[in-house]
Each structure stands twice: as structure tokens, then as C-alpha cells.
Amino acid sequence: MTNSAHTWLLLAVLLSPALASAETSRVSPTRSKHFAADSLRGTLARDHASRLVHFRGAQDRTYVAYLDHYHDVMVACYDHDQGDWLGPVRVDCAPIRDGHAAPAIFVDSKGFLHTFSARGAIRHCRSKRPEDITEWESAQLIGPQDKSLTYTYPVETPQGDLLLFYRLGGAGGNSPLVVSRSSDRSATWASPRILVDYGMNHGSGSVKIGDAVYDAQTARVHLVIKERDNTGPGVKWRAHYCQYDPAADSVFALNGANLGKTASREALGKNDCLLPAAADMALAGGRVYLLMRPKGWILGKIEDGRLAQRDLPTLQDAAQAILCIPAKDDWRIYGYRKCEPTTPYPTQGNLLIWRSRDEGATWDQGQVLVDNAALDHGLLGLNLVRRPPTMQKSPETTGPMILFQEAFGMSYGRELRGPDGSTFSDMQLRFNKKLYALNAEHAFVTRGTPFTFSGYSDGRDGPPAGQAPGPRASFQLR
């Protein structure tokens, strides 16, 4: 590593309070205090469930879950009344060292916090007391332990049943969409029930969950899913929209047809569930809106069993966009737009917001919120705050509203090899693993806690400051 790159990395970790005082809605994140600087790569991947939920009970708090470099599930919260952060607290150890294991966080209607970390059997943890992150019950396993389970999405029905949607299996073979239900507030969970199947009778396939939101008006869960067709040769992708009725325990198509307890690929196709592309979902005024990019960005609206589409020309150069509708006259899209690459990042992007004041009919040209955020080949995502138990997007006026992450991409190559010959992936445990939080005014909500590497989970000491961790650590459940 060159001396200049080495120096920059140290400066990115040891952040200056003087620079942090200059935070505005348009400022490089490397000049601002981070929310957390020990998060694993992929923690905020866009095709994973929410890491950020706001719950107003006895306390008014926003809760955040992430993985640290020890492979531990961490939870922190922002107290809106105090205007300060509490935690983080170590909750559990994730099943594997992988972004897929990043924890989904949920707060039930009684105020108990839940984390769900998956890739293998799902590890579920619940707080011992409502609205209290300090103590947690021992982890329990959900689902079969002989399969790779991923993409956990929790919601709660008005009757108090907890529903956990996830993929039963890995990327290859037949890995259907399933739901597990708990009728005793997570003390026990029913075996997974298949909702969308790509079994041998239909051609093998696997599902990725894009979003799952409970709609109190219809008493159904809206589901956006992405299907990988594994029948070969080659891999084909499709996207679908459907609904799940917890009371009837049935799947319903976009056109309203009852597809029974389990829907097939063919049934989804015959009943207009096929989408032009994978979608980000928002609910407003009793309707479902879908932000999609088959080639150029489009906005879809589901109404009367049909999908209407509208082009979004001002977004055509955007990436990783997400849709949010806080009010009738305030529609928002957040996303990245590429900018000139500058050292030390190989890829750069500005974080922007596009707004519409006429219910999505027209959109402005976009306003830059953060300059030069590092992009990481699609694994660097944005998370908007959710409101449990329905898990709809819910921007707040104070506290964290949006999370984003900086991480070096694999394309950066040999320049990041350490003096001890450690690989690039090992370097990711040490350098530039920072999360940032913005509030509804798009100002940084910081903790100001510098990152220090204090050792591996297997007991080895950490490296001297500024050096790579060395050979890959053997991460163990503990």
C-alpha cells in the first residue's frame, strides 16, 4: 500500500470533531462522524430486510441492527426525547460471515425487539423487556437446520400473530417463498409453509424477497419477489407481485384472483403478477406503487387489478433507487448517481433525492444530499426507516431516517494488500467499514465513536493501528 493511501485510510477512521461540526445536507460522508464504523460488507444490501425501525411506545426511539467485524449482531437505538444514541449492545452471533446474515430488526406491538439473522437456520433473538436493548433472551432457531435460509421479512397482524417471510433454500435448485407464523409472540414458530413454489413440476427456481409490507386497509401482506429460473441453460430472472392473506392463509394475484395456499410460477404468470423488473414498493392512499427499472426507470401503480406505468425521465442515470411517500404532496425517490471517480475509491456516486409535488406525475431533476459516496457493485444499499408492525416506510422529523454504507469494492485490487500479504477481503475487516445515518432534514445523525480493532472472536489480538488484520480469522458462534 502506498503511504498516501495508508494515511488516507487512517484519517477516514479517526474522524475529526472539527470537521464533523460542518455537517450539512451536502457533504462528503468521510468528513462527518459515522454512525458505526465496524460493519461488515453487505450489511445494508438492498435485497435484505430493514435494519432501521421507529417505534413510539413508552419511549420514542429508533432502533438499528447491523453486523460488526467480529460477526456479531449489534443493536443500537436513538432516543428522540434525549436526542442521543444508546448502545450498541451485542445481541447474538450471526450464522456466517456474509452480508446475507445481516440481521433484520423488528419491534412488535408490545414493544419487544426482535432480530432475525439467517443463512442456515434463522437465529431469532428477543429483548427481555419492551423497548429495552440492554438484555436479550437466548437465540432460538426458526426453520429447518439443513437448508440455507435467507431474506427474512417480519410483520405482525392486528391479531398479534407474527409472520416471518423468507426463502427456503439457497440460490440454486428449488428455493420457494415461505412463511412461518408465531401465535404466541415468538415463543414458538410453526414450520414454514410454502407460498410460492418453483418445484420440479414447475421448473426449478429460487426467490429473493424485495419487500413485504402489511396493509391494514386490506388486511393483507403485499409481496414483491424476484425469481431466479434455474431450469437452465443460463440464469433467467423475473419479478412478481402478489398478496398474502393471513386470515385465509392464501395467496392472491395482482388481478385479484385467489391462487390458493401455494402459487406456482405458471399461476403468477397467468394472473398478471409478472412485473417489468424488480421493484421497490410504497403504499399510499390505499394503492401500491412500484419503482422499477426494466431499461429506464418507471413508476407503476396497481389499481383495480391492473398495473399502470409511467416513465421517469429525470431518473434515467440513477442507481439503487428507493421510493418513499410521506405525504400526498411529498413523494420522494432516493438513489445514487455516478460521479467522477477520485482517489481512493474506484467508483463514486452522489446520494440524491428526487421529489414530486403532484403525486408522481412530474419529478424534479434531483438534489445532491451526499457527495462522493463509495459504491460497492450493488451490495451497498440504502435503508429507509420502517414503522412496525406493518413495516411501511415512515420518515421521521428527528433521528435517523436513512442509512447508507461505505465499503471498498473488490475491483479495487492489489493496492489494498497489507504489509503482511493479507488478501483484500481480509482488509475489509479493518478499513472503511462505516455506516452513516441521515435524518428527515438530510443532516447527519452521528455517534462520534471512533472505530478501534480490539481483536478477533477466536481470541487473537488485533493488529497495530493502520495494518491489515492478517490471515483470515476463524469466526465462531459464541
pLDDT, average across residues 189-208: 85
C-beta separation of 108 from 155 below 8 A? no
C-alpha dist (Å) from residue 42 to 105, 173, 382, 409, 448: 16, 24, 11, 10, 22
Q: What is the dihedral of CA 291, 293, 294, 298, to 10 degrees?
A: 60
Tell me the pairing of strands 348-356 and 382-384.
Answer: unpaired
Cβ neighbours of 188 (radius 10 Å): 11
Q: Which pLDDT value is given to residue 374?
A: 53
Answer yes or no: is pLDDT of 462 > 60: no
CA pair distance 109, 337, nearest whole angstrom: 38
C-alpha closest to that of 371 among 336, 329, 327: 336
Cβ neighbours of 389 (radius 10 Å): 23
CA pair distance 425, 469, nearest whole angstrom: 10
Reported residue count of the chain is 478
- The strand pairing partners of 308, in sequence order, are 301
Dmax (CA) for the chain in angstroms is: 64
C-beta separation of 15 from 33 below 8 A? yes
Answer yes or no: is pLDDT of 26 > 80: no
Q: Could you give the strand order of the β-sheet that contains 193-197, starting from the edge strand earlier in sequence?
A: 149-156, 162-168, 177-182, 193-197, 263-264
pLDDT in tens, 275-298: 999 999 999 989 999 999 999 999
Q: Which of 245-259, 339-353, 435-449 has the lowest mean pLDDT?
A: 339-353
Cβ neighbours of 244 (radius 10 Å): 23
- The chain-wide mean pLDDT, for the chain, equals 78
Q: For the chain, give the percent of residues with pLDDT over 70.
A: 71
Cell triple for 232: 437452465
Cis peptide before 389 (omega within 30 of 0): yes
Q: Which pLDDT value is given to residue 407?
A: 54
Non-local CB neighbours of 100 within 8 Å, separated by 6+ positions: 42, 45, 48, 118, 119, 150, 151
pLDDT in tens, 37-63: 556 555 666 566 788 999 999 999 999
CA pair distance 16, 237, nearest whole angstrom: 45
CA pair distance 443, 335, nearest whole angstrom: 16
Tell me the pairing of strands 274-275 and 236-245.
Answer: antiparallel
CA pair distance 136, 313, nearest whole angstrom: 48
Q: Which pLDDT value is given to residue 95?
A: 67
Burial class (CB in 10 A: 0-12, 13-18, 19+), 206: buried
pLDDT, average across residues 364-370: 89
Answer yes or no: is pLDDT of 341 > 60: no
pLDDT in tens, 248-283: 999 999 999 999 999 998 999 999 999 999 999 999
Answer yes or no: is pLDDT of 114 > 90: yes
Non-local CB neighbours of 362 within 8 Å, separated by 6+ positions: 356
Cβ neighbours of 460 (radius 10 Å): 13
pTM: predicted TM-score of the whole model, two decimal places: 0.83
Q: For the chain, give the percent of residues with pLDDT over 90.
A: 48
